[in-house]
Structure 1
Amino acid sequence: MRQADRDEVKAASGKSPAEALLFSLRKSTLAWTGIIDGRPEVMFGVGDLNILAGIGAPWLLGTDAVEQHYRQFLRHSVSWRDQLLERYPILRNFVDDRNTVSIRWLRWLGFKLHDPVVIGGHVFRIFELRSSDVRYHDGPDGWVDAVGRGRGGAARAGVGGGQSVQRANHGHERPACGSPGEGCD
């Protein structure tokens, strides 16, 4: 696991990397593993934060391979974000303020970061994204949000990708790309 993720897990929960992954998987309604060059290098998912309000808590823990394959990761993360927004109109969680790579990625995906808060003696930032904040130009007829609301039809999240990245579904609803075990090409 990336050192920044290890530090964040320890600061947020006191758990070891393995304990944090198992806990996150158990609490998730959707979860996937990203396979890079045949090795599991990233695990990610979402759990219910507030079912009635439609708020999900996304999480992601990865190895250094994620940063080495960042272009592919970024392309695929847009698709992942959009799939989560189809289920949860609001995504919210917190990130360690020291985890600058994750903060840059969250901002790139469109998440808004709130002012720093201290939790258990460590500084974190709450991040949030609403489906209504993610807009796609849908041709000459107008714009739609991440779940297809608006003028002009369904939203599109074009995702390309290299051949070295695959996704594996952990038995929850839909895979991030294709069918379980298929590549995301």
Structure 2
Amino acid sequence: MEPEVVLPLLVQQGNYVWAGVEPSGEVFGLFGVDPSGPYMGIVWMVSSPAIMNYRRELIGLTPKWLKRLHKVRPLLGNHIDARNTTHIRWLKRMGFSFLRTHDEFGVEKRPFHEFARLRS
């Protein structure tokens, strides 16, 4: 499903969703965790290119948000497009482990990495 369809559904369902907002009030990104069973949470983020204006803040605030997300679910994980090297580096820096690569994943059958992080 397209983000324009999925994101409003996530918010309406009462899932754990937060927004990154510029001083002008413009939203540059959304992130959250969707429960998947009693212990696992699917973490996700979508953003505009404007997120790159907030790299320092993102790096500094992520540990706080991970702690908060881990209160919801002790195990966090998802899949990431293998071409997304910037965010792969960020996930590694934030303590996520990369478990395996799926050579043909999703609608477009592209390589995706599976990643996870266990609450410490």
Specify the alignment match of 2:34 in structure 1: 47
Q: Which residue is 1:75 aligned to?
A: 60
What secondary structure sits across from 1:110 in the alignment? coil
Distance across 2 between alignment mates of 1:116 and 1:32? 28
Residues 24/125 of structure 1: CA separation in 2 closer, same or farther (3 Å cut) = farther
Give the paired residue count. Answer: 116
Query: Aligned Cα RMSD in Å?
Result: 1.7
Q: Is the 8 A contact 1:42 1:66 kept in 2?
A: yes
- 1:46 maps to a residue whose letter is V
- Unaligned 5+ runs, structure 1: 1-14, 133-185
Deviation, 1:123, is: 0.8
Matched residues in 2 for 1:23 and 1:70: separation? 28
For 2:91 and 2:48, locate their aligned partners in 1 and report how far apart those are by CA, in whole Å.
17
The answer as to 2:17 corresponding to 1:31 is yes
TM-score relative to the length of structure 1: 0.58
Compare the two structures and name the one with the higher strand fraction: 2
Looking at structure 2, the residues matched to 40 and 55 of structure 1 have their Cα atoms a distance apart, in angstroms, of: 27
Between 1 and 2, higher relative CO (CA 8 Å, sep ≥ 6) is seen in 1
Q: CA deviation at 1:24?
A: 4.0
The one-character-per-residue Cα deviations of 1:1-29 (angstroms, maximum 9, x if unpaired) are xxxxxxxxxxxxxx333124234435663
| Structure 1 residue 34: Cα displacement | 1.1
Query: Is 2:96 the partner of 1:111?
Result: yes
Are the aligned partners of 1:85 and 1:131 in contact in 2 as well (CA < 8 Å)?
yes
> Which of residues 94, 101, 112 in structure 2 aligns to 1:124?
112
- CA deviations 1:27-58 (Å, max 9, x no partner) are 6631111111221111011011112xx11111
Unaligned runs of 5+ in 2: none
Q: Give, as a single letter, the amino acid of the residue that structure 2 aligns with 1:70.
A: R
Change (3 A) 1:42 1:56: same
- Structure-1 residue corresponding to 2:2: 16
